[in-house]
Amino acid sequence: MSDSRSPTGDPAQTLDIRFTGSGSEYFRIWIVNLLLTLITFTLYWPFARARRLAYFQNNTLVGRDPLGFHGDPWKMFRGYLLMLLFGVSYWAVSNFAPALAWLPLLVLAVLWPALWRASLQFRLRNTSWRGVRMAFEGDLKGAYLCMLPFLIPVLAIGLVIALVAAGAEDSAAGAMFAAATGLIVLAMSAMSPWLLARIKRYQHGGYAFAQERTQLEAGTGAFYGFSFRVGGVSLLCTVLLAGLGGIVAAMAGSLAGAAVIALPFLLALGYLVFPLVLMPYTTSRLQNLLWSNTRSRRIHFDSQLKFVPLMKLTAKNWLFIALTLGLYWPFAKVHTARMRLEAIDIAVQGDVNAWLAQAQGGDKGILGDAAGDFFGIDMGL
């Protein structure tokens, strides 16, 4: 933690983030969580998740003080049961009334913004630093407005499915479904950077701590630039794979030999190149874009996560996970968390102790927390 002076004369300090967890410690938590989750047919999952969150947050030091996690696993368990009930309902409708299979998806699409907001509220309100709870202050209206462009195509696809189900014998219905789905997918692909900007602007604009509330200052153009760069890296990987395939085919000699040798080679290489190159590039660039542009009046985040070190770490993690038949997974999680967290610095203007407010209580958003975890959506860092 370093001190300096801001241009206004107020004392400024940089709070480094350090992660003190170890792979061996987390392995013991992970293996117990895994066994109990399997034995209880996933009913232990919310308790396992609470232990995991507590471990990672208690070992995340901002300045010299760790984060705290205060989530009640029993409340998370009740939310998990509700989401499990929804999943069972969807399975039952899909199997016994296929024509109505779109109905649970429609209900989920309508409720999802509220569940997502509740997930953010639950996670932040159960996270503390120096005894002060954090908060998420994004309103319900804002959640629906930022998600609205997603809801419209979902509703459109649901309508098309209903029409196709009603005229299952009509071949024109299938053609209409394919055409409508194709147009929706193209439109969503073109709009995806704009949609990502809307969602992240709402999410990063709702984080609150003490009297501070953050905002995301990155414009929509920055997200289109990010998407174009990711697309360029993906295209480069594709071209390299095609070139290598051509070389292998040329070395094979005959066309028959090329087909036998080149195709498995390309498939195996594709499974390695895209996850080991594209995923670390996307992760590093997106983290830097979001957190380097997240700030409040007296707090400014900065992220300098490097692509090449993250790619090397990802390759190492995957290699050892394969060699140990998955047992290296908790070590990989710890190493990745350390690299991502320690790439972030927090610049604070003024005396932190002077403007820390009283902790905000209340545990809300239990169902939303389960929904966020069930569908892979969480605040993250």
Check residue 267 and give its pLDDT. Answer: 66
pLDDT single digits (tens) 100-149: 877 887 788 888 898 889 889 989 999 999 988 899 999 999 999 998 88
Q: What is the pTM of this model?
A: 0.85
Check residue 233 and give its pLDDT. Answer: 93
Check residue 166 and give its pLDDT. Answer: 61
pLDDT single digits (tens) 224-240: 999 999 999 988 888 87
pLDDT single digits (tens) 76-85: 888 888 888 8
pLDDT single digits (tens) 268-322: 666 778 889 999 999 999 999 999 999 999 999 999 999 999 999 999 999 999 9
Position with higher pLDDT, 188 vs 7: 188
Dihedral sign for Cα atoms in the order 332, 335, 340, 341 = positive
Is residue 361 predicted with pLDDT exceeding 50?
Answer: no
Position with higher pLDDT, 22 vs 72: 22
